[in-house]
Structure 1
Amino acid sequence: MGMTASSKGYRTQGYSCPDVTRSYPSQTYRRFPAFKVKKQGELIETLSILPNCSLQNPAIDVWWSFCQFFPNNDNFLFCTSTPFQIMQGIHWKRVTALPCGKIVQYNLQNGKSGVIPQATCDGFPKFQINPDGIKLTSLTTSSIAEHFIVYHPANPVIQRARDPSFTQYKDYATSPNGSFFAILAKNSVNTFTLSVFGSSTILRADSVIKVNDLYPDVTPRPLLFTDQADVKWSPDSKHVAIGFSKGQLIVVDWRNSQGICNVFEEIIPDCHLHGPSGFDFDPRSKHCVMTVAASDMTLYRVNTEDKKILACCNDLGSFVDCFKYSYDSNYIVAALFSRKIKVLDTEDLSALFEIDLTVLCPDFEDISQKLGSVAPNTTCLSLTSTGEQAAIACWDRKIRVVQLLKVLDLQCLCKFAILSVVTPSNVNKLPIPHLIKDYLYSFPYNP
Structure 2
Amino acid sequence: MKMGANITVTSNTKKLKQTVPQSKWISFPKHKILSKTGCALSLEGQDQGHVFYQFNVIPPGVVTTGLDPAQIIWWTDCTFMPFDDSQIVTSLGGYFYRGSQGLTQLRKMRLQNYFRIPQGFMTLWRFNDPHFPDVINTKPSRALPHCSVSPGGTQVSFFTDTDIISSNIQQGSVIKAKEMFCSTFFFSAFSADSNFVAVLGRSRLHLNFAVVLVILRASDMLVMYQKSVRELFNQFKLQKNSTNQDRLECKFSPDSQFVAVSTTGGQLFIVKRDLSNLECVLVDGKNDKLTNERCYDFDPQYPHEVLAVCVNSDEVYVKNIDSGSQIFCSKLPENVTKATCLKYNMEGDAFAVGCQDGVIVMMSSSSGNILYLLDSKTQATAFAMTPCKLSMYPEIIRISFSHSDDVLAISSTEGAVRLWQLPPKINLVHMCRLVILKHIPASTINCLPLPTRIKDLIVCCPRERTAITPVKSRHKE
| TM-score relative to the length of structure 1 | 0.90
Map of 1:346 onto structure 2 = 365
Contact 1:342 1:351 in 2 (8 A): yes
1:278 Cα deviation after fit: 0.3
Please give the alpha-carbon distance, in whole angstroms, between the structure 1 residues aligned to 2:136 and 2:27: 27
Counterpart pick for 1:20 among 11, 16, 21: 16
Contact 1:275 1:322 in 2 (8 A): yes
Aligned amino acid, residue 22 of structure 1:
Q
1:201 Cα deviation after fit: 3.2
Contact 1:190 1:220 in 2 (8 A): no
Map of 2:470 onto structure 1 = none
Q: Kindly indicate whether residue 135 of structure 2 is the aligned counterpart of residue 116 of structure 1.
A: yes
Aligned amino acid, residue 52 of structure 1:
G
Map of 2:445 onto structure 1 = 427
Residue deviations 1:283-312, cap 9 Å, x none? 111112100010001111111222222111
Q: Kindly indicate whether residue 423 of structure 2 is the aligned counterpart of residue 405 of structure 1.
A: yes
Identity of aligned residues (%): 19
Map of 1:259 onto structure 2 = 278
Please give the alpha-carbon distance, in whole angstroms, between the structure 2 residues aligned to 1:253 and 1:377: 32
Map of 1:220 onto structure 2 = 238
1:436 Cα deviation after fit: 0.7
Larger mean CA deviation between 242-251 and 311-320 belongs to 311-320
Map of 2:375 onto structure 1 = 356
Counterpart pick for 1:130 among 146, 150, 164: 150
Aligned amino acid, residue 188 of structure 2:
Y
Residue deviations 1:210-239, cap 9 Å, x none? 211232221334644320111111000011
Q: Kindly indicate whether residue 83 of structure 2 is the aligned counterpart of residue 75 of structure 1.
A: no
Please give the alpha-carbon distance, in whole angstroms, between the structure 2 residues aligned to 1:83 and 1:175: 28
Larger mean CA deviation between 329-338 and 174-183 belongs to 329-338
**Closer, same or farther in 2 for the Cα pair 1:83/1:254, shift >3 Å?**
same
Residue 223 of structure 2 aligns to a residue whose secondary structure is coil
Q: Kindly indicate whether residue 61 of structure 2 is the aligned counterpart of residue 52 of structure 1.
A: yes
Aligned amino acid, residue 283 of structure 1:
P
Map of 2:311 onto structure 1 = 294
Map of 1:173 onto structure 2 = 189
Map of 1:148 onto structure 2 = 168
Please give the alpha-carbon distance, in whole angstroms, between the structure 2 residues aligned to 1:209 and 1:254: 11
**Closer, same or farther in 2 for the Cα pair 1:429/1:187, shift >3 Å?**
closer
Residue 276 of structure 1 aligns to a residue whose secondary structure is coil
Please give the alpha-carbon distance, in whole angstroms, between the structure 2 residues aligned to 1:51 and 1:275: 31
Paired residues for 1:264-283 under 5 Å? 264-265=283-284, 270-283=287-300
**Closer, same or farther in 2 for the Cα pair 1:183/1:370, shift >3 Å?**
farther
Map of 1:396 onto structure 2 = 414
Map of 2:462 onto structure 1 = 444
Aligned amino acid, residue 38 of structure 1:
Q
Residue 173 of structure 1 aligns to a residue whose secondary structure is strand
Residue deviations 1:297-330, cap 9 Å, x none? 1111111222222111113333211121001102
Q: Kindly indicate whether residue 380 of structure 2 is the aligned counterpart of residue 380 of structure 1.
A: no
Contact 1:329 1:346 in 2 (8 A): yes
Contact 1:39 1:406 in 2 (8 A): no
Please give the alpha-carbon distance, in whole angstroms, between the structure 2 residues aligned to 1:370 and 1:82: 23
Residue 205 of structure 1 aligns to a residue whose secondary structure is strand
Please give the alpha-carbon distance, in whole angstroms, between the structure 2 residues aligned to 1:256 and 1:193: 11
1:269 Cα deviation after fit: 5.8
| TM-score relative to the length of structure 2 | 0.85
Residue 206 of structure 1 aligns to a residue whose secondary structure is strand
1:42 Cα deviation after fit: 1.1
Larger mean CA deviation between 137-146 and 286-295 belongs to 137-146
1:408 Cα deviation after fit: 3.9
Please give the alpha-carbon distance, in whole angstroms, between the structure 2 residues aligned to 1:364 and 1:256: 42
Larger mean CA deviation between 433-442 and 141-150 belongs to 141-150
- Please tell me the root mean square deviation across aligned C-alpha atoms, in Å: 2.3
Residue 15 of structure 2 aligns to a residue whose secondary structure is coil
1:361 Cα deviation after fit: 5.7
Please give the alpha-carbon distance, in whole angstroms, between the structure 2 residues aligned to 1:310 and 1:167: 40
Please give the alpha-carbon distance, in whole angstroms, between the structure 2 residues aligned to 1:117 and 1:302: 37
Map of 1:101 onto structure 2 = 120
Please give the alpha-carbon distance, in whole angstroms, between the structure 2 residues aligned to 1:89 and 1:410: 54
Map of 2:474 onto structure 1 = none
| Matched pairs, number | 432
Residue deviations 1:51-108, cap 9 Å, x none? 3325894275311100111111101112121001222255322111111322222222
Please give the alpha-carbon distance, in whole angstroms, between the structure 1 residues aligned to 2:387 and 2:423: 26
Please give the alpha-carbon distance, in whole angstroms, between the structure 2 residues aligned to 1:348 and 1:107: 36
Q: Kindly indicate whether residue 334 of structure 2 is the aligned counterpart of residue 326 of structure 1.
A: no
Contact 1:301 1:310 in 2 (8 A): yes
Please give the alpha-carbon distance, in whole angstroms, between the structure 1 residues aligned to 2:437 and 2:187: 32
Map of 2:223 onto structure 1 = 205
Please give the alpha-carbon distance, in whole angstroms, between the structure 1 residues aligned to 2:238 and 2:209: 6
Which residues of structure 2 form unaligned runs of 5+?
A: 32-40, 110-116, 466-477
Aligned amino acid, residue 62 of structure 2:
C
Residue 245 of structure 2 aligns to a residue whose secondary structure is coil
Larger mean CA deviation between 40-49 and 422-431 belongs to 422-431
Map of 1:29 onto structure 2 = 25
